[in-house]
Amino acid sequence: MTPDDLELRRATIDEILPLRHAELRPGLPLEAARFDGDDEPETRHFGAFLRSSGEPVACVSCMRRPHGGEDAWQVRGMATRGDLVHRGIGRSLLRHALAALRDARGPELLWCNARVAALEFWEGEGWAVVSEVFDIPGVGPHRTLQRRLSRR
C-alpha cells in the first residue's frame, strides 16, 4: 500500500465509528465506541480511506477539552485496521489531523490518554508522558501524554 492508495480527510463520526468499535472496543456494544463530545460542533473527526473502495482504515478524533487549566485539544479514538498496522497509516493520519488543527488557529496544547502498548508510537511523534499508569475499566492500562502544535 502506498500513500496514493489513501485519502486522508475530515470524516463524520458515522463514517469512522464502525472502525473505532472494531479496533478499540471489540466485543462490546457499538455504543461503547461512541464518546462524549463526538457530536459537539468543535469536534473534528479524521479518517484514512482506501481510494479504491472508500473504506476507512484509520481514524482519530480531536475534541476541545481543557487540560491542566489550559484550553486544549484531546486526541481520542485513534485506531488503524488491525491488518494494516505498522505501515505508517496512523502516523500519516495523525500528522494530517494536527496540521488541520494548526491551520484552524485554535489551542496549541494537545493531550491524549494512550494505551501503554502504544507509547512508543506517541513518543516517536513528539508526545511526552505526563502521568503514571492508570486503568480504564474494560480497556486497560493508559498514560496521559501531551505536546504542543508547532506554529509555522
pLDDT digits (tens, 9 = 90+) for 20-53: 999 999 988 999 999 999 999 999 999 999 999 9
Q: What pLDDT, on the 0 to 100 scale, is given for residue 2? A: 65
- pLDDT, position 152: 56
pLDDT value for 3: 63
Over residues 53-80, the pLDDT tens digits come to 999 999 999 999 999 999 999 999 999 9
Residues 127, 146 contacting (CB under 8 angstroms): yes
Q: What is the CATH number of the domain that holds 110?
A: 3.40.630.30
Predicted confidence at residue 139, as pLDDT, reads: 81
> How many CA atoms are closer than 13 Å to the CA of 43, on its beta-carbon side?
19
Q: Measured between alpha carbons, how far is 31 from 44 in angstroms, rounded to an integer?
A: 19
User: Pick from 23, 6, 45: which is nearest to 115 by CA?
Assistant: 23
Q: Residue 69 sits in which domain range? A: 3-148
Between these two residues, 67 and 150, which has the higher pLDDT value? 67
Tell me the three cell numbers of residue 21: 468499535
Q: What is the dihedral of CA 97, 49, 76, 118, to 10 degrees?
A: -100
Distances (CA, A) of 10 to 16, 127, 144: 10, 22, 25
How many domains would you assign to the chain?
1
Q: How confident is the model at residue 137 (pLDDT cuts 50, 70, 90)?
A: confident
Q: Which one, of 99, 96, 22, 88, lies nearest residue 56 by Cα?
A: 22
- CA-CA-CA-CA torsion sign (96, 87, 59, 77): negative
